[in-house]
Amino acid sequence: MSYAEVSVNSPIAQRRTFSYAIPPHLEINVGQAVWVPFGDKRLQGIVLELSPHPEVEETREIIGVIEPRPLLSPQQLQLARWISQYYLSPLFDAVALMLPPGFERRTITFISPTPLPTDFDLSTLNAEQKQALELIQEKGKLSLGQLEKTLGRKKAQTIASQLVNRGLAVKSYELEKIRVKPKMVPYLSLAVAASEAEEAIDKLRRQGKAPKQATLLEYLTQQSGAVPWAEARENTKCSKATADALVSKGLAKFQEVEVRREPISYKDIVPSPPLTLTSAQKSAFEAIKSSLAEGKTKTFLLHGVTGSGKTEVYLQALAETVKLGKKAIVLVPEIALTPQTIERFAARFPQRVAVLHSKLSLGEQFDEWQRIRNGQFDVVIGSRSAIFAPQPELGLIVIDEEQEWTYKQQDKAPRYHARDAALKLADLSGATVVLGSATPDVESFYRAQRGDYRLLQLPERVTPYDGSALPKVEVVDLREELKAGNQSLFSRSLFQAISQAIANKEQVILFLNRRGAASFIQCRSCGFVMRCKRCDVPLSYHLTENKLVCHQCNYRINVPESCPRCGRRRIKFLGIGTQRLEQEVGYTFPQARLLRWDSDVTKGRYSHDEILTKFRAHQADVLIGTQMVAKGLDLPLVTLVGVVSADTALNLPDFRGGERTFQLLCQVAGRAGRGVRGGRVIIQTYSPEHYAIRAAAEHDYASFYEQEIDYRRQLRNPPFTQLAGLTCSHSHDALCQREAERMKRFLDQEIASQGIAGIELIGPAPAFIHRLRGRFRWQLILRGAELSAFLSPLPLPPGWTVDIDPMGLV
């Protein structure tokens, strides 16, 4: 007998596997989904390993196989183990990332007959048992539900168990089929022979009564068969009533035709041949190409400003991968997963691109997953979780905008970072990784500098016109505006520029980062922001206590009446939202047509697109938005981008505030001047001297990086150390704080007793979002090295969550 180590779908299982014996009649493989007994339950599990010996003395047997084909590849199994160990998440949660969508669904119990023992005496069965046995013998296999129809609910269960106990039948389990409702589309066709239709057309025309019907009928005679009604309507401009009239005369007929759900509609996509690479693109491509040929894991950081042609490099690297008989995964931020982006890939690899999108229905996701696993696609493109797609023969992983925070899953376990998961997966499968960005994560750039990654640079825009220069950026000092008596949201510069653009019939984007709004205070005279003396992060204002609080270490002070730097009494709470901005713009520029784009507006499936389409069609002059507007738009009529306040991101109570500001400003600035008219950017701020703002204005990544990495080193922040966040949540605030303090003492003791040097504990402090869904949250921050290894053996009581490498400390 041999044994299987199984990751079981139970919260009790945590980070370990369980040993089960494999009964002789089952063929079990690594990566397979199985049913196992667990306590008095039957649970789903995934086989991670096979071994000749069990890990424990007493083992139970695997009950059955859920799907004969293994669901996870050996690399994926290793990746799941790594995720569980590194991010300290339950093992099954890590495994579940890679299972087909909808895997954890209802199960159906089946009962099937076993060969009757030759000496079996049928008269020992009662009438109902006999009836049931005959039924299953006749059908071969019957679901419990079907048996219930004949025998009644209670009886069926009992009798099935009796038959099983007497060895006359066996039970098996299957997952309920995912019902993918087929998508039906109405088609219209002729209901008569063509000659008859011609006669009818003549007659209609002669009578001169129904010219529309004649037109539609004529159109139908010209088609080779049934046509989608939508297409016929579009081409003939006829109404449904016209079609119905033809139907009632028996000349035409409607029929419903099932269409396959396509996440990509290839109808309007024109295949696009590769472009001739510029010399910078070529040298980047050649480096990636030779790594692909070698087939050994290698990571590239492709650094190039927006519009420098990174995507073309990805496309050609993908083509090279396909040439070598391999496949690829491309990750893009969720927000960039627009038809515009997808089309670029689909046009280069027609019918060979799969899209994984959180907005697809479960059925669509399931279909796509199956087709990917069957090797049907060269390229899988999707957001964060697409890294777990069952793409076989992986040769290349591309992560566009690698600095994006959305690559980190923050709201639930496993709190993985897709980039780190990708690097691990590449390691396991020998794939090449290309990280692309206009503003690389400081940590990635540091790794490239250190030689862990190979740095590839595209220093200039490839633009079809001669405006290869980046847009001009003007930084407006809002303190000067106040001095000049201008209290409005718009500086004199921005006001003039907006008026000018509207007068020229050009378009404007106004950008406002809402996060952190109204939570910090600032002197409106000198721009001074109160910071924590210990952590150097901005202090947040807590309304309930009327105090300023550090969300890292819980340092607290009263709100000063006057500014500690300039002494004036102009301390103000800052922050306005996009809605308020929209009102102000409307009031200030009554002649402008406005469009607002933020997450409140875009809830539906295509509304991002609708807004974008509207704006592109010049149905609005001013687009107002949050960071959403910062990405991926290519709008030639936009000649002005205004950043209403650069300070909201800057003053996030987090050490990444400077980096975040730089990234956002660069992205926003990249939106202007994409067309022949060129463009300008105006950034309004109270801190014009801040290095992140100055570097962004100059489009100067290098000088930003030098300053930022210096601060990181000084304050012992990543990449020089690792961070972990431990958050306790509780319905009672004081108890939550006490529990967090208890945890701190416990961890301090552990650190002391294990003699660990270099792990530092910060806090506890109330979390930035102190109260979430009725529960209070306190957090502790660990800073040091090898934090997963330190935390792994320690018990984490209920109510605690751990976040390794958190994106923000707030």
Residue 442 contacts residue 702 (beta carbons within 8 Å): no
Q: How far is the CB of 807 from Zn ion (least distance, A)?
A: 19
- Tell me which H or E stretch contains 565: none
125 near Zn ion, rule: CB under 5 A: no
276 binds, among Zn ion, ligand ADP, none (CB under 5 to 8 A by kind): ligand ADP
CA nearest neighbour of 322 among 289, 355, 297, 273:
289
**What gap in Å lies between CA 397 and CA 95, rounded to an integer?**
20
Does 557 help bind Zn ion (rule: CB under 5 A)?
no
> Is residue 44 close enough to count as binding Zn ion by CB under 5 A?
no
Which of 638, 633, 631 has the alpha carbon at shortest distance from 666? 631
- What whole-number distance in Å separates Cα of residue 213 and Cα of residue 473? 60
CA nearest neighbour of 235 among 256, 209, 216: 216
Smallest gap from residue 309 Cβ to ligand ADP (A): 3
Looking at beta carbons only, is 301 or 585 nearer to ligand ADP? 301
- C-alpha 400, offset from chain centre: 12
Which of 121-129, 309-317, 548-556, 781-789 is the region at the interface with Zn ion (rule: CB under 5 A)? Answer: 548-556
Nearer to ligand ADP, 247 or 347 (CB): 347
Instruction: Indicate which of Zn ion, ligand ADP, none lies near residue 347 (CB less than 5 to 8 Å, by partner kind).
Output: none
Q: What is the dihedral of CA 528, 529, 530, 532, to 10 degrees?
A: -120
Considering beta carbons, is residue 315 or 473 the nearer one to ligand ADP?
315
Q: Any idea which residue has 């050009």 for tokens? A: 506
Q: What are the distances in angstroms from CA 65 to CA 3, 25, 34, 112, 562? A: 14, 11, 4, 15, 71
User: Which residues contact ligand ADP by CB under 6 A?
Assistant: 275-278, 281, 304, 306-312, 462
Which of ligand ADP, Zn ion, none binds 532 (CB below 5-8 Å, type-dependent)? Answer: Zn ion
Considering beta carbons, is residue 336 or 532 the nearer one to Zn ion?
A: 532
488 Cβ contact partners less than 8 Å away, ≥ 6 residues apart: 495, 584, 588
539 near Zn ion, rule: CB under 5 A: no
* 633/178 Cα distance (integer angstroms): 37
Using N-to-C axis directions, what is the helix angle for 127-139 and 153-165, rounded to 10°? Answer: 80
DSSP string spanning 749-774?
Answer: HHHHHTT--S-EEEEEEEEEEEEETT
Closer residue to Zn ion, CB minimum distance, 219 or 555: 555
Q: How far is the CB of 302 from ligand ADP (least distance, A)?
A: 9
Query: Which residue is listed with tokens 């089309």?
Result: 343
Q: How far apart are CA 808 and CA 670, in angstroms?
A: 25
Stretch of residues binding Zn ion (CB under 5 A), selected from 47-55, 434-442, 526-534, 611-619: 526-534
Please select the residue that binds Zn ion; options are 532, 592, 611, 747, rule is CB under 5 A: 532
For the chain, what is the largest distance between any 2 Cα atoms, rounded to a whole number of angstroms? Answer: 106
In order, the DSSP letters of 36-49 are EEETTEEEEEEEEE
534 binding Zn ion? (CB under 5 A) = yes
**CB-neighbour burial class of residue 247 (10 A; exposed 0-12, middle 13-18, buried 19+):** middle
Q: Which among ligand ADP, Zn ion, none contacts residue 275 (Cβ within 5 to 8 A by kind)?
A: ligand ADP
| 720 lies in the site for Zn ion, by CB under 5 A | no
* Least distance in angstroms from the C-beta of 718 to Zn ion: 17
Instruction: Write down the least CB distance from residue 277 to ligand ADP, Å.
Output: 5
| Contacts with 731 (C-beta within 8 Å, 6 or more apart), sequence order | 774, 775, 776
Minimum distance, C-beta of residue 700 to ligand ADP, in the bound complex (Å):
18
Interaction partner, residue 648 (Zn ion, ligand ADP, none; CB < 5-8 Å by kind): none
Identity of the residue, 281 or 663, whose beta carbon is nearer to ligand ADP in the bound complex: 281
Of residues 94 and 332, the one with the C-beta less far from ligand ADP: 332
Measured CA to CA, the distance from residue 18 to residue 13 in angstroms comes to 8
Task: With beta carbons less than 8 A apart as the criterion, state whether 719 and 452 touch.
Answer: no
Q: Any bridge partners for residue 589, and if so which?
A: none
Q: Verify binding: residue 531, Zn ion, rule CB under 5 A.
A: no
Cis bond upstream, residue 764 (ω within 30): yes
- DSSP label of 388: G
CB of 249 to ligand ADP, least distance (A): 52
User: Which of ligand ADP, Zn ion, none does 245 bind, CB closer than 5 to 8 A by kind?
Assistant: none
Residue 552: name its binding partner from ligand ADP, Zn ion, none (Cβ under 5 to 8 Å by kind).
Answer: Zn ion
Specify the residue, 10 or 278, whose C-beta has the smaller distance to ligand ADP.
278
The distance from CA 301 to its chain's CA centroid, rounded to whole angstroms, is: 21
Please identify, using beta-carbon distances, which residue of 266 and 555 lies nearer to Zn ion: 555
Q: H or E stretch including 226?
A: none
Does residue 535 interact with Zn ion by CB under 5 A?
yes
Partner touching 304 among ligand ADP, Zn ion, none, CB below 5 to 8 Å by kind: ligand ADP
Among 173, 254, 266, 555, binds Zn ion (CB under 5 A): 555
Give dist(CA 569, CA 722) in Å, integer. Answer: 40
**Cβ closer to ligand ADP: 83 or 335?**
335
Residue 712 Cβ vs Zn ion, minimum distance, rounded to whole Å: 17
- Residue 779 sits in the site that holds Zn ion (CB under 5 A): no
Q: Give the neighbor-by-neighbor strand order of the sheet with 107-113.
A: 142-143, 107-113, 169-175
**From Zn ion, ligand ADP, none, interface partner of 550 (C-beta below 5 to 8 A by class):** Zn ion
In the complex, least distance from residue 305 CB atom to ligand ADP, rounded to whole angstroms = 7
Total of residues contacting Zn ion (CB under 5 A): 7
Least CB distance to Zn ion at residue 426 (A): 38
**Cβ-based nearer residue to ligand ADP, 208 or 273:** 273
Decide: is 497 part of the binding site for Zn ion (CB under 5 A).
no
Residue whose CB is less far from Zn ion, 428 or 762: 762
What does 553 bind: ligand ADP, Zn ion, none (CB cut-off 5 to 8 Å by kind)? Zn ion
CA distance 401 to 631: 10
CB of 534 to Zn ion, least distance (A): 4
Report the residue number, 100 or 309, with the smaller CB distance to ligand ADP. 309
Structure tokens at 802: 């751990």
Instruction: Tell me how far CA of residue 548 lies from CA of 491, 554, 615, 734, in angstroms.
Output: 29, 9, 41, 19
- The nearer residue to Zn ion, 419 or 770, going by C-beta atoms, is 770
Using CA of residue 194, residue 195, residue 198, residue 199, what is the dihedral sign? negative
Residues that bind Zn ion (CB under 5 A): 532, 534-535, 550, 552-553, 555
